[in-house]
Each structure stands twice: as C-alpha cells, then as structure tokens.
Amino acid sequence: IVFFSIGENYFYVGFSILSLLLLTGLTMQDRQQREMFHQTNLQASQLEAQMLRQNIQPHFLMNSLTTILEWVEVEPAKAGQFIELLADEFRLFNAISQKQIITVMEEIQLCQVHLDVMGYRLQKSFKLNLENVDLSRNIPPGLFHTLIENGISHNSYCQEVVVFILSESKNEYNLTYTLHTPLAADHQSKQSYNASGTGSKYIRSRLEQSFPDRWQFVSFQQNEYWVTRIIIKD
C-alpha cells in the first residue's frame, strides 16, 4: 500500500527488493537443511566406525582367542568350527556395514552367526525366533544385531537356552519391529539401555538417516524381557 501511494516506479523497486530478500532467505534455509543432512550422514558414518571398532575391540578378540586356545588342545574340531563362525561374522559385518540399506534377511543372517559365535564361546544355546517377519523388507544395517549383542554382553545368563524373539506388525500408519530380549534368570540386567550408549546412538542415527522424522525407538522392561520397539511411519 505504501509503495502504491508513493508511485508505481517505487512499487516495482520495492517488490524487486522484497523478492530478493525472500529468495535469499529460502537459499539460506536450503543451505541449513543440506548442512543438517550432511551432519546426520557424518554422524552415522562415525557411529558406524565406532560400532565396527567395538565389535573387533581387543577385549572381544582376546576372549575369542582364549576360547580357541582352550579348545585347540582338547577339541581341535570345535576350535576350527569356532574360527569359521568368527570369520563368517566379521565377513558379513564388513559387507553390510558399508551399505545404507540391506534386506531383513541379510540382517537376520548376521544375527544368527553372532548368536552361534556367542553360543560357542559361552557354551550356551542362543536362538532367535521370528514371528511374522517379512525378510524381503529393507532396513538400515546392524539394528537387530546391535540390540542382540547388547543383550548378550549385558546379561549374565545362567540358563542354558536363551531365546530372543523378533516380531513384525504393520497397519496403515506404521511398521513396527519388536525385539524381546530375555533377561538373566533373576530378571535383572546390567545394561541401563539409556540413550547415551553407543549402540542406541548408532540405531537412532541410522533410522534418522534412512527415515528422517518418521521413526520411533522405545524400550522398557516387561516381566522377564527387555522389550525394544522400532516404529517406522508409513
């Protein structure tokens, strides 16, 4: 209104300035969003490297090598099987850690190998039961593997058979994966499952990278299980 009152020429000049300011603002906003996306990718890559280093850390390797040395003398065949399983896990983990998205089947294969490795090492039977899980779906790598690894490393299991349960449910709004991690026989866990842990950070970062602003990650204790849910909005 002011521009019209002081003349048509001033209106066009003012309109041009206003358009330039709006364009500058949109450009700055787009740059900020791209920078945030870059930071998310960078954080995911850093956490991926941390997770990989954690999986091959000296403590893990030392325990594995100690187990091998004990078996080499008395049960060479068993030691050989353990070495093969350990090599399979490293091979699978290295293959999928470089990808942003893998199939659920690939993730389950990694989980099964890890359960076999830990079962050999701890002389227990670790199992993963699947309920209505579509193996052809795509997910970020290492989600279920991280949760299962945390469950084993932070529980002192005295039971001979330990069964993890992974289920899938879907409605028109959400796709939900639920993992029931059995607690030790006393129903207590040494793991706090807080959001500051490396594993939780890795999962959150991977979800944000693949499904920005369309996911939830919740966990809670329910009787003899620690229940973790990954919810992806359709």
Written as one string, the DSSP assignment of 7-55 is -HHHHHHHHHHHHHHHHHHHHHHHHHHHHHHHHHHHHHHHHHHHHHHHH
Q: Check residue 115 and give its pLDDT.
A: 94
Residue 182 pLDDT grade (very low, low, confident, very high; cuts 50, 70, 90): very high
Q: Are 182 and 224 in contact (CB under 8 A)?
A: yes
What is the phi/psi pair of residue 183, to 5°? -85, 170
Q: Check residue 219 and give its pLDDT.
A: 92
Token pair belonging to 184:
């030790």
Angle at 14 (CA atoms; ends 11, 17), nearest 5 degrees: 150
Q: Check residue 192 and give its pLDDT.
A: 47
Q: Are 185 and 157 in contact (CB under 8 A)?
A: yes
- In whole angstroms, what is the distance from residue 61 CA to residue 54 CA? 10
Q: What confidence tens digit (pLDDT) does each residue in 104-160 have?
A: 999 999 999 999 999 988 889 999 999 999 999 999 998 999 899 889 888 889 889
pLDDT at 171 over 90: yes
- In whole angstroms, what is the distance from residue 233 CA to residue 215 CA? 6
pTM of the predicted model as reported, rounded to 2 decimal places: 0.74
pLDDT at 194 over 70: no
